[in-house]
Structure 1
Amino acid sequence: MDKFVEVFPDQATLIQRALEIVLEKVKAAIAERGQCTIALAGGNTPKPLYEQMATQDLPWRGIHVFWGDERYVPPDHPDSNQGMARRAWLDRVPIPPINIHPMPTDVAEPIEAANKHEAELQEFFQLQPGEFPAFDIILLGMGDDGHTASLFPHTEALQVHDRLITVGNKDGQPRLTFTVPLINHARAVIFIAAGAGKRHALDHIFAPSADATTYPARLIQPEGELWWLLDQTAGQDLKS
């Protein structure tokens, strides 16, 4: 694993750097493999990045978009990660609809939806049973509690190692989420985190030892590159 930690004076500069890295990796993936697979994060922090992506002139037919997690709400719900990304980015560019691969939230039981999306990923990546895909880019945020995707502290989802997709849980509300091993098979994982509220969790995530079930972002150790892009208020006291 190659690890990179960069701290920026403000969120705008952080987003500009994230844009540079994403664009570089999108273009490299298409040049090398003919397509780029990117999984998006939810939350407010990456929204400006998606708005910037909407202004780019890219080979959209070669880009396939997924999500690292999703709240169990319809896509037109204000809390939908898919809905946010569509409004900020995907609805504003000529990307083929078939290239957009949202997590299904229209199935009665979340576990059935997880199974359905796992089957979709297996088909798209042409996986054999037990294999994991290598996403070109997985974007992640981090909560003040150290969670990432919908991998929350001390939840069963952290222990799932034989699946691509599982059901996360936030205060009794189900969510769909990539599993830890799926994320860790990525070619590049990019964390984008801002705000003083992240400092406590970051201290534990970057510490030589800490409980990863309490700070789940510690579990993310990809086979490829690991990027931490932080603003000054989040990363000013960080000892990487």
Structure 2
Amino acid sequence: MAISDLALPAGVVSHELQDAQHLAVALAERVARALEAALAEKASVSLVVSGGRSPIAFFEALSQHSLDWARVQVSLADERWVDTSHPDSNEGLVRRHLLCNAAAQAQFIGLYKPAETLAQAAKLASEALASLASPIDVLVLGMGNDGHTASLFPGSPLLSQALSAAEATRCLPMRAPVEPHERLSMTYSLLSAASVQCLAIQGAAKLDTLQQAMRLEPSQMPIRAFMHPPLEIYWCP
């Protein structure tokens, strides 16, 4: 199966790349162009990315683009509630692979906050995100085989709230079915307002997930909530 075989909703754009490296380069080019265009119109722009291992090549490619990075705010769609020095920390990943080279001057707004409870940490993260240039200028999402995106997981106790929360609620505590279970996630209202929205996926299994998601509700596969314009999907086998 190829992504062209999917009956995507009208207006959703798809790009099929040769392999993961070509996808990373193409996505970095798209994001850099979008940030450059936004910088021509605003004093400060925002880029929200997803963590995990998959985006590393994209981060490294984007970090080498020549932009006025000092005017770019970088944040995360979601975070694991672990210290930033922990191997599972998305912030640590971004700092190592994106906030370097030309992008070293970017401003980072992290979601991880030390607190007594995850709920308190989410409240602190939501407050920190008040300084993020809004609406988000560029959003880059990933997707799991269960149809989750960011840390909007099927079956998570607060998923319904995360999908329907008012815009003022920027971050909520979420629970993942895999370790580490405790997560922080931007809400759908904040993510879905992004001017440029990209989804990066790889492999036939992810296409199967997308196909299934289009027949289900966002509560069953949260990626379904994003399957409308201006979404652009970048896929490789």
Do the structures match in fold with TM over 0.5?
Answer: yes
Q: What is the total number of aligned residue pairs between the two structures?
A: 221
Kept in 2: contact 1:157–1:179 (CA 8 A): no
- Say if 1:142 and 1:124 are closer, same or farther in 2 by CA, change over 3 A: closer
Equivalent positions of 1:9-28 (< 5 A) are 9-28=18-37
The answer for the alignment partner of 2:135 in structure 1 is 134
The answer for the alignment partner of 1:79 in structure 2 is 88
1:51: Cα distance to partner? 0.7
Which structure 2 segments of 5+ residues have no match? 1-9
Give the structure-2-normalised TM-score: 0.86
**2: CA distance between counterparts of 1:95 and 1:36?**
15
The answer for the alignment partner of 1:227 in structure 2 is 232
Q: Secondary structure at the match of 2:194?
A: coil
- Say if 1:73 and 1:29 are closer, same or farther in 2 by CA, change over 3 A: same
Matching of residue 211 in structure 1 with residue 217 in structure 2: yes
1:217: Cα distance to partner? 0.3
Kept in 1: contact 2:23–2:234 (CA 8 A): yes
Q: Secondary structure at the match of 1:156?
A: coil
- Say if 1:189 and 1:100 are closer, same or farther in 2 by CA, change over 3 A: same
The answer for the alignment partner of 1:117 in structure 2 is 125
The answer for the alignment partner of 1:154 in structure 2 is 155
Amino acid at match of 1:156: P
**Deviation string, structure 1 residues 166-225 (Cα, Å, up to 9, x no partner):** 0111137110001111111111111101123313211113x3x32322211001257x62
The answer for the alignment partner of 1:166 in structure 2 is 172
**Deviation string, structure 1 residues 31-85 (Cα, Å, up to 9, x no partner):** 0112220011111221101111222222111111111000011111111111111
Q: Secondary structure at the match of 1:57?
A: coil
1:95: Cα distance to partner? 3.7
Give the structure-1-normalised TM-score: 0.85
1:64 to 56, 73, 77: 73
**C-alpha RMSD of matched pairs (Å):** 2.0
Amino-acid identity (%): 26
The answer for the alignment partner of 2:44 in structure 1 is 35
1:177 to 178, 185, 205: 185
Matching of residue 189 in structure 1 with residue 190 in structure 2: no
The answer for the alignment partner of 2:3 in structure 1 is none
Q: Secondary structure at the match of 2:114?
A: coil
Kept in 2: contact 1:158–1:180 (CA 8 A): no
- Say if 1:43 and 1:124 are closer, same or farther in 2 by CA, change over 3 A: closer
Amino acid at match of 1:116: L
List structure 1 runs of 4+ shifted beyond 4 angstroms: none
Amino acid at match of 1:225: P
Kept in 1: contact 2:81–2:184 (CA 8 A): yes
**2: CA distance between counterparts of 1:2 and 1:102?**
32
Amino acid at match of 1:139: V
